């Protein structure tokens, strides 16, 4: 079964209307592979701005949301609000949410369930830290994270799994294409065993962690790498080269 290549750009806490407006103009004018699904993760305060300016061929994602539709949760946003801005995706469980803001697996699972129930697509992030990789427990860590997500998913067609080794995010270290492929393949086997063969074959597993125009082609050639979640490079014109990694 062919899986549509998926490239997400995570702008993180970067940009302003001027710089993001220029980036959006570059993307809108760029020649991008029509066989790739592209989603840009904008800061929540710019979701409306990004959605109104980006071509319809590009999706937009929030970078986080809460687990209920509304209420006394100062500083949070809900899937209902995200959808009200015309935005159809949310990134959940990013390593910065887990390790900088202390979000637990349980909370990420609850957010995933609520976002999916609300009709958003979810880019669900998993990945091990450096000490976990060096300690030989990469599989144990990513399988445990994946299980909490899987327990909260009814419709896998709305989920993209993003494998991001924490030691490779923003460090300039990229997992080798072979390291990425190895984990992606094991994740697919885990899904086959614990969810279903159909889900294992159809769900897109994308790689994140210092993806650049220089590293994207070889990563994209790996059998089980179905796209990327791109950080810093998604704010630069080279994001177009990454979108076109398979072209």
Spatial distance between the Cα atoms of 144 and 190, rounded to a whole number of angstroms: 11
- Is 185 one of the catalytic residues? no
Spatial distance between the Cα atoms of 229 and 41, rounded to a whole number of angstroms: 10
Q: Are 112 and 127 in contact (CB under 8 A)?
A: no
Spatial distance between the Cα atoms of 232 and 214, rounded to a whole number of angstroms: 13
Q: For the residues of 75-116, what is the DSSP string, one character each?
A: T---HHHHHHTT--EEEES-HHHHHTS---HHHHHHHHHHHH
- Is 94 one of the catalytic residues? yes
Give me 109's structure tokens.
């699972």
With a CB cutoff of 8 Å and minimum separation 6, the contacts of 159 are 112, 116, 121, 122, 124, 149, 153, 203
**Annotated catalytic residue within 37, 94, 114, 128:** 94
**Annotated catalytic residue within 96, 103, 132, 164:** 164
Q: Just list the catalytic residues.
A: 94, 164
């Amino acid at each position: 079964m062919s899986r549509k290549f998926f490239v997400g750009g995570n702008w993180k806490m970067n940009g302003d209307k001027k710089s993001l407006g220029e980036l959006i103009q570059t993307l809108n004018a760029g020649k991008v592979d029509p066989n790739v699904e592209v989603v840009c993760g904008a800061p929540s305060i710019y979701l409306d701005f990004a959605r109104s300016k980006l071509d319809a061929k590009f999706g937009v994602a929030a970078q986080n949301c809460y687990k209920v539709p509304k209420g006394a949760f100062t500083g949070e946003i809900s899937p209902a609000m995200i959808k009200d801005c015309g935005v159809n995706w949310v990134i959940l469980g990013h390593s910065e949410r887990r390790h900088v803001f202390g979000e637990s697996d349980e909370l990420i699972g609850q957010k995933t369930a609520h976002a999916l129930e609300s009709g958003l697509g979810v880019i669900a992030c998993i990945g091990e830290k450096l000490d976990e990789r060096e300690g030989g427990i990469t599989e144990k860590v990513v399988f445990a994270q994946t299980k909490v997500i899987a327990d909260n998913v009814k419709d896998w067609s709305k989920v993209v799994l993003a494998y991001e080794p924490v030691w490779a995010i923003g460090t300039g270290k990229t997992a080798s294409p072979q390291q990425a492929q190895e984990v992606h393949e094991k994740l697919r086997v885990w899904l086959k065993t614990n969810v279903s063969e159909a889900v294992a074959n159809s769900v897109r597993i994308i790689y994140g962690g210092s993806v650049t125009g220089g590293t994207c082609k070889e990563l994209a050639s790996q059998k089980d790498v179905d796209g990327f979640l791109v950080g810093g490079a998604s704010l630069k014109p080279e994001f177009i080269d990454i979108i076109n990694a398979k072209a």
